[in-house]
Amino acid sequence: MNSKNNIIARLKPRYFWDVDLSGLNEASASRLIIERIFSLGDIREINDVINFYGEKKVMGVLCNLTYIDPKTFNFITKLFNKPGEEFRCYQIKQSKPRYWSS
């Protein structure tokens, strides 16, 4: 983690409508911050998160999420040049049978 910049001060409160930002710790809430910014944030905010936490930490969190919406999932796989099979959410989706396809 890059300690010279405070990531919480740069976060938009609308991404964290259910959390008190003043009581949020960037170390213990890294999963929440990374997940919300990648799902709801813009490219500048995504770059801020990557620069703050480091690419290895961000990829570790993203690979272990149980759900990522399809649009964000596609963006992440292209951004980090990773195959979808390395993500837990992809593995979970593939393991669930589809009974009805529309």
CA distance 59 to 53: 10
Q: How confident is the model at residue 91 (pLDDT cuts 50, 70, 90)?
A: confident
Q: How confident is the model at residue 4 (pLDDT cuts 50, 70, 90)?
A: very low
Helices within 1-102 (DSSP H only): 7-10, 30-40, 43-53, 55-64, 70-80, 88-95
| Model pTM score | 0.82
- Name which residue leads in pLDDT, 100 or 86: 86
Specify the pLDDT at position 102: 57
Domain ranges of the chain: 7-95
